[in-house]
Structure 1
């Protein structure tokens, strides 16, 4: 084996998902644990906490932030960043997430809206203002973190997975735009029926949906041209669906109504799902073929022993 091949294999090993990101995983699990605790609270006491608190909002935020941090933990080793830059990204998201968990949870349980309070004290206003600043910093940090994924990749740097991550970041920035939109409006609603939280949430779920497609395809061992076509198809379909949902929301209309834009968005999400199913079936065939080959070899070895 050549030295160049050894180098490529070593780089591929270094780029394993979650590699070296135990702290980020722990921080993500804190979000899930808080969401679970709040769910128990809601089941006992209900969601509304006067005068402004809503435990359901704290539940959804902590779960969403936990999933976002878990996604960052997964793809950070694939970024190609130096150890120092990786540490900077890691610690920024750790601090931002812990502060966000604390403000969102404590304020809602106190009956205070953590972002747009009308009854809070000066301390509550400061905490909410800092919360907004951190939200904007997360947008900037995410944009900067995306840049390394768009540089030219070297052989062995998991091109299919990285391609899925590239598409995911496009959708994520749309989600961040929806978050800024909510800050400007000081509400999640646009008009009578539009709800930015749907756009915000689905946009962030690209960080799971599209890298998963790349991860499945790189293991399915299908020919390179077909795998790239599939990941482009899934990535473009998801991104267009998010854009259509954004347009429907901007029109102050519900994304769940029976109308052309939601219908097209749903059809595009179905296209993404089909690409995932195709990739998963390809992987299952490979696994099944490997098992059959292993059993065949074992059988031949047993006959030789006899």
Structure 2
């Protein structure tokens, strides 16, 4: 490979979504399934006897679709070889497709896909495999996360990678909540604790925290100032996860107006402030036309 070709390959590998068309399609499939389920709910309601709940299928398919799109966006920045990327990609794809199928089909059949009390032996096996596929996705995420913590890999886009690092740490909390649900065979703990809140907040870090780095990178913000805002917003997000985790361990609702949820809300406002500052800096650094072209740019 010539020097020109090597530089071109390096430039492409640093672009979001580059080379991940298949993962993008799998992610979009989740939104398509969620849209179909929403139509069914509109016509027939969400409950499907004896255990089915189409609202759960809707939220799951949309959430995992968003998760896979986020993975597709950051995969090219990992610095992994084509062979390793392909292996991780297929771990995500097969795990996601199975999860879509079981979550959607079982709810339409009136069966809880994870913790059924009314299903057959086959339904219990499908549920056990569902848990196994969740572990496969955890392994794939860890394999993808590791190279982002190697300094030599990420000289080109340090601000974006800093946000991604924080996001992966937060995602581990989401996975811990997922494993906890598998162990309990339920999303509920104590009198009012709901692990799905911790689970969701951890996963949404994959969108919220890299966003800070992407905005400040595009705004051409001074590196020291940009890192300060990324650290502030990301640490605040992680503290909110910790506070919600403690509230859930106590078996209490994350939405009651007590000390821990209120403090978690304040931390999320800190992240929102960092995001607002990042957007403001981006808008100040570019006029309307160039911002439109920026968002339209395939390289993002």
What TM-score do you get using the length of structure 1 for normalisation?
Answer: 0.90
- Which residue number in structure 2 is paired with residue 298 of structure 1? none
> For residues 47-75 of structure 1, what are the alpha-carbon distances to aligned partners after superposition, in whole Å with 9 as ceiling and x for unaligned?
11111111111111100110010001000
> Is the counterpart of residue 255 in structure 1 residue 254 in structure 2?
yes
- Which residue number in structure 2 is paired with residue 224 of structure 1? 223
The structure whose Rg is larger is 1
Question: How far 1:221 sits from its partner (Å)?
Answer: 1.2
Structure 1: tracts of 5 or more residues without a match: 292-306
In structure 1, distance between residues paired with 2:7 and 2:236: 32
What's the C-alpha RMSD, in Å, of the aligned pairs?
1.9
The structure 1 segments of at least 4 consecutive aligned residues displaced by more than 4 Å after TM superposition are 3-10
Contact 1:52/1:113, CA 8 A, preserved across alignment: yes
Question: How far 1:9 sits from its partner (Å)?
Answer: 7.8
Question: How far 1:78 sits from its partner (Å)?
Answer: 0.6
> Is the counterpart of residue 48 in structure 1 residue 47 in structure 2?
yes
Question: How far 1:97 sits from its partner (Å)?
Answer: 0.6
Give the 3-state SS of the residue equivalent to 1:252 in structure 2: coil
Structure 2: tracts of 5 or more residues without a match: 291-300
Structure 2 CA distance for partners of 1:283 and 1:41, relative to 1, 3 Å: same
- Which residue number in structure 1 is paired with residue 59 of structure 2? 60
Contact 2:13/2:79, CA 8 A, preserved across alignment: no
Contact 2:12/2:18, CA 8 A, preserved across alignment: no
> Is the counterpart of residue 161 in structure 1 residue 160 in structure 2?
yes
In structure 2, distance between residues paired with 1:252 and 1:5: 59
Structure 2 CA distance for partners of 1:203 and 1:154, relative to 1, 3 Å: closer
What TM-score do you get using the length of structure 2 for normalisation?
Answer: 0.92
- Which residue number in structure 1 is paired with residue 239 of structure 2? 240
Contact 1:11/1:156, CA 8 A, preserved across alignment: no
In structure 2, distance between residues paired with 1:81 and 1:225: 28
Contact 2:237/2:268, CA 8 A, preserved across alignment: yes
Task: Note the 1:171-190 alignment, pairs <5 A.
Answer: 171-190=170-189
Question: How far 1:224 sits from its partner (Å)?
Answer: 1.1
